[in-house]
């Protein structure tokens, strides 16, 4: 059964976008909660408590931290893809998830192991392994299709070359044969 998250509806969320943006900037800066309360009252005519601003700020900080984590993960994926140009995005994501999963497992304190749902952990690990295996299988199939298409294209080119330019076809065949003998 999936757990439904309650969407928060604070007074700050209902402010006009420009004022809400200004509040967000104030909360990320040096403003106090009292400063934010005064700003909202003076600019929007809305009364709000400092505890409501504090709750909103906590949610905002959690969102900012989550965005930073996402940006860091994307940076790591991008660096991995730069180091390995033949790596595709799904493989880079699989590597990142595998690393994070192993890291999390290694860092779980002994007393928390009693609270770990092993069946869920095994299900998630199995799902990750299946995804990686499926992707590798698809990569093999795609490469096989590419090779087959290349062979058909090469055969068509050689047929056309033999029919339209037999002299060039003969030179090319001699060149290929000489390379085959060298190898």
Tell me, yes or no, whether 74 lies in a domain. Answer: yes
Specify the number of domains making up the chain.
Answer: 1
Residue 41 domain flag: yes
Helices within the chain (DSSP H only)? 17-28, 33-44, 50-83, 89-106, 118-164, 166-182
Range of the domain at 75: 9-81
For residue 27, being part of any structural domain is answered with yes
Report if residue 36 sits inside a domain: yes
Does 51 score more than 50 pLDDT?
A: yes
Question: What whole-number distance in Å separates Cα of residue 63 and Cα of residue 44?
Answer: 24
Confidence of residue 5 (pLDDT cuts 50, 70, 90): low
Answer whether residue 29 is part of any domain: yes
Task: Quickly count: other Cβ atoms within 10 Å of residue 23's Cβ.
Answer: 23
Structure tokens at 181: 């003998």
Tell me the per-residue pLDDT of 71-130, one tens digit each, with 9 for 90 and over: 887 888 788 778 887 777 777 777 777 787 788 778 888 877 777 777 887 887 788 788
Per-residue pLDDT band for 2 (boundaries 50, 70, 90) equals: very low
Does some domain include residue 38?
A: yes
**Domain presence at residue 103:** no
Per the domain annotation, does 134 fall within a domain?
A: no
């Amino acid at each position: 059964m999936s757990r439904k998250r309650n969407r928060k509806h604070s007074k700050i969320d209902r402010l006009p976008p420009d004022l809400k943006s200004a509040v967000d900037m104030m909360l990320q800066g040096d403003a106090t909660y009292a400063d934010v309360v005064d700003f909202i009252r003076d600019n929007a005519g809305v009364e709000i408590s400092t505890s409501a601003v504090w709750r909103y700020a906590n949610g905002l900080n959690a969102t900012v931290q989550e965005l930073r984590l996402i940006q860091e993960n994307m940076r790591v994926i991008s660096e991995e893809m730069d180091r390995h140009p033949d790596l595709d995005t799904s493989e880079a994501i699989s590597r990142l998830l595998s690393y994070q999963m192993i890291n999390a497992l290694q860092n779980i304190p002994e007393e928390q192991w009693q609270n770990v749902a092993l069946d869920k952990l095994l299900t998630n690990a199995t799902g990750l392994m299946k995804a990686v295996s499926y992707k590798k299988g698809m990569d093999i199939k795609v490469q096989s299709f590419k090779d087959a298409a290349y062979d058909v294209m090469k055969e068509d080119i050689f047929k056309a070359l033999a029919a339209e330019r037999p002299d060039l076809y003969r030179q090319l065949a001699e060149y290929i044969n000489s390379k085959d003998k060298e190898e």
